Amino acid sequence: EALDISPSYLNLLEHNQRPLTVPLLLRLGNSFDIDMKSFAEDDSPALMTELSEVFADP
């Protein structure tokens, strides 16, 4: 319910039948209090700035 997707769509995501979009990834992060920076292997300041800009842009 918090993600505003249907159970069938969730099933497709779980079975790699649909891509995980940035908006959905952001909703997941917000719903489960996940720091998006944890998805980056490289923690350089430039990458963190770029990721913040990408994830902030709707």
Q: Reduced to 3 DSSP states, what percent helix, strand and coil does the chain have, rounded to the nearest 5?
A: 60, 0, 40
Q: Is the dihedral of CA 40, 9, 27, 23 positive or negative?
A: positive
pTM recorded for the entire structure: 0.59
Quote the number of domains for the chain.
Answer: 1
The domain of 42 spans: 7-56
Tokens at 55, concatenated:
């994830």
Determine, yes or no, domain membership for 1: no
Report d(CA 19, CA 44) in Å as an integer.
27
pLDDT by position in tens, the chain (length 58): 678 899 999 999 999 999 988 888 888 888 888 887 777 666 677 777 777 777 776 5
